[in-house]
A and B are shown apart, each in its own frame.
Chain A
Amino acid sequence: MLGRLRTRYFRNIWDATVSTVCVLAIAYLAIRFFEWAILDGVWQAKSASECASRDTGACWAVLPARWRLLLFGLYPYEQQWRPALGSLVLLLAAVLTCIPWFWKLSRIVVLWLTSFLAFVLLMRGGILGLPPVSTENWGGLALTLFLFASLMVLGMPLATLLALARQWGPRWLRIGVGLFIDLVRAVPLIAIMFGASLIVPLILPGWLSGDKLFRIVLGFAAFFGAYQAELLRGGFQAIDKGQIEAAKSLGMRAWQYQLTILIPQAFRITMPQTVNQAVAGFKDTSYVAIVGFFDLTASASAALGTGDWALAFVEVYIVVGLVYFVFAYSLSRYGAFLERKMASGHRR
């Protein structure tokens, strides 16, 4: 260990100098951060200015005062157990998805549809004596999780259908789907969100245009689906045509071998890029702030909005960044786990 350290970082005077300087710089920054965050941090105060009067460090007191806003946004305070429970259901579904027992189409579909439905019913209310809550009041981390879950639940099947249609559909469908994908990809996500929230209700009659949040979710899913569809199409093209012939010769119909042979392999082949898309999609959920929803990011700025805590913005954004990091990093690790799991059996 020591020997390796020496040959790697202290082989000669230059290496030793650079290594020493770097180590000192890192140590300095770490100590300063530790001082600021822990030693001089303030955990109890009524406002940011009170923090400043107590000590020079981080004003963590903003968290106990504002955490409900970060987690649940503008959702009615006394009803916030509903987004809490709903988010737990979604997180539980995500954890269960990691268990190989659920890696069967029927099981994964049932798992996600029920947890997604449970979340929406809990949040909307209007049944089982739950007072209805308008989607405009959904917010915080709960809204971010909802957006991401709907992106997966709607966007992934959409992407699969688009890719299948573009790869093997009849000519008119291939052209239509190609046009749709190119159009959606040519427009920035922000424009799609503005279109979904502002332009669609101008064009469609009221009863057809539906809820603003659900319009945005659909637009977002279409955007995600268009990109993901092209990834999957690449995956389809990488599968040897001989497998299709073998499936046909066994008497399988097109939908049967697409479901059991082509789609699973396309997802395996494109797993690294698919995880990439999912992580990007997770972070893109913060765009809904622009069309007036209080997701995690927007709730953070709302938490600072009152004069009391405006100075604690560094602390709040550190925490928000950490939350995004935890989710995005978990997604990457999950992707890496899937790849390892598949590589153990399936080598191409």
Chain B
Amino acid sequence: MSHSNEQVGSTNERTPAVHMESVHKWFGDFNVLRDINLTVAKGERIVICGPSGSGKSTLIRCINRLEEHEQGRIVVDGIELTSELKRIDEVRREVGMVFQQFNLFPHLTILENCTLAPTWVRKMSSKEARDLAMHYLAKVKIPEQAEKYPSQLSGGQQQRVAIARSLCMNPKIMLFDEPTSALDPEMVKEVLDTMISLAEDGMTMLCVTHEMGFARQVANRVIFMDSGQIVEANSPEEFFRNPRHERTIAFLSQILH
């Protein structure tokens, strides 16, 4: 199914996971992304932060085409995103996404949430899909909840299921859109720990988050966005110690108290 693009993409280790070139996007008159240039290498972990409305969610949602960019080029693992449906499908099979509101399917059990896409999209047998799902549910440390429904789980557990559900599609890249923002404080850590262990496995990750501790520990690069632009990008040490841009300084002083 994805053999052809595997030859184009992943066999070459130097192909960037994500390459964005002068990307623009508008919501009506509002220029939500302005001239975004970003290259993410395989295995790289990027944290994107910035004030609300700065375009950071829109940026990562363009990578799996939940939003359409209007100008510029986006190439994901060697596949350029155009309006061609076949390419969008290919990219979405490579890219997993975790949402702020979990977005689990409430009418399906935890296990069914995880096996649905592998059986329908990857055409796996139900036995294979089940084994795979149990493997990843064990990885996020909730295999015992497999037969329950999402509403019976805590927010932190639901978010870990959402991560497992994405992993069941064996993505090469994971996008996280404020994964801990809807959680009660005591549940943030269990989700971050899951993300850290994913990072340790070498997953390419783009995370929109304000968890600066996570950024320090895991990120290769921290990107600060404001008004649709990438204002500053740096290693976490430099980013927190020597923020260069005044908007970065103002933002950091607000969230680091």
Complex: A134 Cα to B72 Cα, angstroms? 67
Tell me whether A253 and B89 are in contact in the complex, defined as CB-CB below 8 angstroms, given that A246-B99, A346-B107 are known contacts.
yes
Contacts of B103 in A (CB 8 A): 240, 242-243, 245-246
A249 x B105 contact (CB < 8 A): no
> Is A260 an interface residue when CB atoms closer than 8 A count as contact?
yes
Contact of A252 among B97, B99, B104, B120 (CB under 8 A): B120
Within 8 A of B (CB), among A245-282: 245-253, 256, 260-261, 264-265, 268
A345 x B166 contact (CB < 8 A): no
Nearest chain A CB to B144 CB, angstrom units = 17
Contact of B149 among A248, A249, A347 (CB under 8 A): A347
> Is A348 an interface residue when CB atoms closer than 8 A count as contact?
yes
Q: Binding site of A, secondary structure by majority: helix, strand, loop or mixed?
A: helix
Tell me whether A260 and B120 are in contact in the complex, defined as CB-CB below 8 angstroms, given that A251-B92, A268-B107 are known contacts.
yes
Contacts of B96 in A (CB 8 A): 249-250
A251 x B169 contact (CB < 8 A): yes
Query: Closest B-chain residue to A250, C-beta based?
Result: B117
Nearest chain A CB to B220 CB, angstrom units = 23
> Is B109 an interface residue when CB atoms closer than 8 A count as contact?
yes
Complex: A54 Cα to B152 Cα, angstroms? 67
Contacts of A260 in B (CB 8 A): 116, 120
Contacts of A252 in B (CB 8 A): 116-117, 120-121
A249 x B151 contact (CB < 8 A): no
Contacts of A253 in B (CB 8 A): 89
Tell me whether A251 and B93 are in contact in the complex, defined as CB-CB below 8 angstroms, given that A240-B103, A242-B101, A256-B120 are known contacts.
yes
Complex: A264 Cα to B108 Cα, angstroms? 10
Complex: A54 Cα to B78 Cα, angstroms? 94
Complex: A245 Cα to B57 Cα, angstroms? 13
> Is B49 an interface residue when CB atoms closer than 8 A count as contact?
no
Query: Closest B-chain residue to A347, C-beta based?
Result: B151
A264 x B121 contact (CB < 8 A): no
B149 x A256 contact (CB < 8 A): no
Interface residues on B, range: 20 to 34
Contact of A249 among B66, B101, B109, B116 (CB under 8 A): B66
Nearest chain B CB to A218 CB, angstrom units = 32
Contacts of A250 in B (CB 8 A): 92, 96, 116-117, 121, 165-166, 169
Complex: A245 Cα to B96 Cα, angstroms? 11
> Is B95 an interface residue when CB atoms closer than 8 A count as contact?
yes
Contacts of B116 in A (CB 8 A): 250, 252, 260-261
Contact of A346 among B101, B120, B151 (CB under 8 A): B151
Contacts of B97 in A (CB 8 A): 245-246, 249
Tell me whether A346 and B106 are in contact in the complex, defined as CB-CB below 8 angstroms, given that A249-B64, A250-B165 are known contacts.
yes
Query: Closest B-chain residue to A345, C-beta based?
Result: B149
Interface string of B149-160 (1 = CB under 8 A from A): 101100000000
Contact of A348 among B95, B106, B162, B165 (CB under 8 A): B106
Nearest chain B CB to A279 CB, angstrom units = 24
Complex: A348 Cα to B106 Cα, angstroms? 7
Query: Closest A-chain residue to B89, C-beta based?
Result: A251
Within 8 A of A (CB), among B74-127: 89, 92-93, 95-97, 99, 101, 103-107, 109, 116-117, 120-121
Nearest chain B CB to A151 CB, angstrom units = 25
Query: Closest A-chain residue to B64, C-beta based?
Result: A249
B105 x A243 contact (CB < 8 A): yes
Nearest chain A CB to B205 CB, angstrom units = 15
Contact of B121 among A245, A251, A265, A348 (CB under 8 A): A251
Contact of A251 among B104, B117, B152, B175 (CB under 8 A): B117
B93 x A345 contact (CB < 8 A): no
Nearest chain A CB to B169 CB, angstrom units = 6
Nearest chain A CB to B10 CB, angstrom units = 16
Contacts of A347 in B (CB 8 A): 106, 149, 151-152
Nearest chain B CB to A106 CB, angstrom units = 13
Q: Which of A247, A249, A253, A268 has the most CB of B within 10 A?
A: A249
A residues bordering B, Cβ < 8 Å?
240, 242-243, 245-253, 256, 260-261, 264-265, 268, 342, 345-348
B residues bordering A, Cβ < 8 Å?
64, 66, 89, 92-93, 95-97, 99, 101, 103-107, 109, 116-117, 120-121, 149, 151-152, 162, 165-166, 169, 175
13 contacts between A and B (CB under 8 A): A240-B101, A242-B103, A249-B175, A250-B116, A250-B169, A256-B120, A256-B121, A265-B106, A265-B107, A346-B106, A346-B107, A348-B106, A348-B151
A242-B103, A265-B106 provided; 14 other pairs, C-beta below 8 A?
A246-B97, A246-B165, A249-B97, A250-B92, A250-B116, A251-B89, A251-B92, A251-B93, A251-B117, A251-B121, A252-B116, A256-B120, A268-B107, A348-B151
Which 3 A/B pairs are nearest by Cβ-Cβ distance?
A250-B117, A246-B103, A249-B97
